[in-house]
Each structure stands twice: as C-alpha cells, then as structure tokens.
C-alpha cells in the first residue's frame, strides 16, 4: 500500500460562510501530518514502518466533502465544549440548570451535533512544523454558558512527536472538557482491524458505566477483568462481548483513571506487522479507550476501504464522562478569567 497526503485542493470549500483548508506539517525525520481547519482536526499522520515505507496511521478522508457528510462525525477532530457524555443532557452550575442537545439517546455527546467538530476554526501557520487554531464559542452555543475563546496548537517535533496544546478562557463560569478524537490503525489506514494491536494502559482502575454509558462510580479495579491492560496485551485477548460492560458498549468504550505522570505514557499501542508504536502522554486525569465499535461501514476512507467496527482505536485524553453531574470526579468548571490548559503528545517510533 502506497500512502500519500491528500491533495489540498480537495479541501477547499465554504462551510458556515468560512473557507476550509488543508495544512501540512513535516519534520526532518520523514513524518508528515495533515490537518484541516474544519474541526481543527487531524486528517493524516504519515510515519515510516519497519520497512521504511511511509504509512498513514489515522482514519480520515481525502476530501472535505466526505468530512461534511460523514456518518462518523468525529474522525480526528477537536471535541468540545464537552468531550464524552453528559447524562440527560443537563447540568447545574451555581443553582442554574443548563439544557443541552440530546444527540446520544438521552445524553449529550461531544458537545452536541453543533459542537467544535462542525466549526471552521481560524488558523495561523507560522512554521513548517506548527499550526495554531482559534475558535470563539458564543454564550449559549450548544446550551453551554459563557463566551469561550479556544486555542489549539499542533506542533510536530523531529522526535516524531505530535504535541497538542489546548488553552481557553471564558467570560463567565462554564464547564469544559477538550480532547482529540483521532482513530488510529497502526497497520496502516484501511488495513483491516485493530484487534491484533498490542495495547498497554498502566492503570489499575477503569470506569464502569450503565446502559446509557454513564459512569456508575469513580472507578473499579481492572484485576481479573477484561479491562486489564497493565501489561502489554492483544486487544482480541481482552475483547469479551459476554462481559456486561463490553456487551453494552459493543467493545471497549471506557475511561481509565490515569495514575502516571505526564512524562510517562498513559497508553501505548503497536502493530506487529508494521512495527509502528504509538505512545500517548497527557496532563489529563483520564484516557478513554475506544475500539471503533460504532463504525458501521457507511464511510469509506482514504485507502478506499469502508470503516467497519474495530478498524480504528482511540485514546481520548480528557476528564471523566458526566463530571458536571458527578462532583466526586475532578472538577471541569472553568471560572471567569481562569485559563484552561491541557497538553497531549502522540509519539511514534518503531518497536524494538
């Protein structure tokens, strides 16, 4: 399979009266990253495999039209204002109730259908290896309070790290939880399922959920459960759809409690066939592990293959689901004048 970056001309259109573009970053080690200002999202990440062949390791499309019309709306995107689920699409802040869109059963998922993923962000490309995206969400947008200024930067280093930095300020108290929703396939985009990826998540606790995928508590021990990835394990060895938790989610769609510092990987995945390894670092208290259970084949990716269940995996660094309604979790409240800051790194290498 020969991989190449999408044609920037295929990313030129207008959406919500703003022009869309493709931006390409590259480093001295042969790694390339393509992004679009539609959703401030990752389109392609090309790294060499163990044969030295350039390999695209994220799911996505080769034109803007497919993103606009996709069934899978969140491929590679910046997610906000609130990543993951808020139960019953409501929360209270200082005694006032805020009602959100119910776009996931009775829940609000990823900020609603009108979220950051469907916005064209302003962009500033100052260097060959860095791009900054900016977006202002108006007070009441998606049902959330406060005018919110958001800044997301992507920086590609010569160590094959893609560094993502988030900053935000609000003019009134609000809730905020940002993440990136890249789907990875380290065999190469379009090269089958990810169930034979090796994964390590050095966490002793995962968050069990109810039938609506809302947390039941603040964490249960992974020991003697199929959620134990403390030692490197094939996903297929832990996939157990007879397990009540996995049965509801149709696979893995669960948050883990991060116990390592931001200098250690909170998740690692690798492909034995390509040799490509991904390490994820973050300042966030949780990583949400998702195995693409709801990719149902409606979308066709860059390699011309349909995206079916388990053809991509996600490590979404974030705060916990439903935190606005569960004060026992770390706070997601952002006060007026306070600056939100978060960092995540995707580091690629060849497994030795």
Question: Could you list the active site residues?
Answer: 181, 316
Contact 305, 337 (CB under 8 A): no
- Say if residue 16 carries a ligand binding annotation: no
Peptide bond into 81 cis (omega under 30): yes
Of 31, 40, 27, 29, the residue nearest 5 (C-alpha): 31
Helix, strand, or coil (residue 329):
coil
Distance CA 175, CA 169 (A): 11
Kindly report the length of the chain: 352
- Say if residue 182 carries a ligand binding annotation: yes
- Say if residue 224 carries a ligand binding annotation: no
Cα dihedral sign for 217, 223, 229, 235?
A: negative
- Say if residue 253 carries a ligand binding annotation: yes
- Say if residue 183 carries a ligand binding annotation: yes
Contact 318, 329 (CB under 8 A): no
- Say if residue 181 carries a ligand binding annotation: yes
Cα distances (angstroms) measured from residue 120 to each of 179, 256, 349: 17, 31, 32
Binding residues for beta-D-galactose: 84-85, 181-183, 253
Binding residues: 84-85, 181-183, 253
């Amino acid at each position: 399979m020969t991989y190449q970056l999408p044609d920037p001309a295929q990313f030129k259109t207008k959406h919500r009266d703003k022009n869309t573009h493709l931006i390409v970053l590259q480093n001295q080690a042969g790694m390339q990253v393509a992004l679009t200002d539609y959703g401030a999202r990752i389109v392609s990440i090309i790294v060499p495999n163990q044969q030295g062949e350039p390999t695209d390791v994220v799911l996505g499309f080769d034109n803007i039209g497919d993103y606009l019309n996709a069934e899978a709306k969140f491929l590679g995107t910046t997610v906000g204002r609130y990543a993951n689920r808020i139960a019953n699409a409501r929360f209270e802040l200082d005694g006032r109730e805020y009602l959100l869109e119910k776009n996931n059963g009775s829940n609000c998922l990823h900020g609603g259908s009108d979220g950051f993923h469907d916005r064209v962000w302003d962009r500033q490309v100052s260097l060959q290896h860095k791009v900054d995206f900016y977006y202002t969400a108006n007070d009441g947008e998606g049902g959330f309070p406060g005018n919110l200024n958001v800044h997301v930067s992507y920086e590609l280093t010569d160590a094959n790290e893609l560094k993502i930095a988030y900053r935000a300020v609000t003019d009134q108290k609000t809730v905020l939880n940002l993440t990136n929703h890249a789907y990875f396939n380290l065999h190469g985009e379009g090269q089958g399922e990810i169930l034979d990826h090796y994964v390590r998540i050095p966490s002793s606790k995962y968050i069990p959920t109810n039938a609506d995928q809302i947390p039941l508590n603040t964490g249960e021990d992974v020991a003697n459960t199929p959620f134990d990835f403390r030692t490197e394990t094939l996903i297929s060895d832990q996939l157990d759809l007879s397990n009540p938790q996995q049965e509801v989610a149709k696979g893995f769609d669960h948050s883990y409690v991060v116990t390592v510092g931001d200098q250690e990987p909170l998740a690692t995945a690798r492909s034995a066939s390509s040799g490509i390894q991904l390490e994820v670092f973050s300042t966030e208290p949780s990583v949400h592990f998702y195995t693409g259970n709801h990719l149902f084949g409606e979308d066709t990716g860059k390699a011309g293959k349909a995206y079916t269940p388990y053809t991509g995996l996600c490590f979404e660094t974030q705060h916990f689901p439903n935190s606005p309604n569960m004060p026992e979790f770390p706070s997601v409240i952002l006060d007026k004048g306070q600056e939100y800051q978060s960092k995540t790194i995707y580091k690629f290498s060849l497994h030795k």
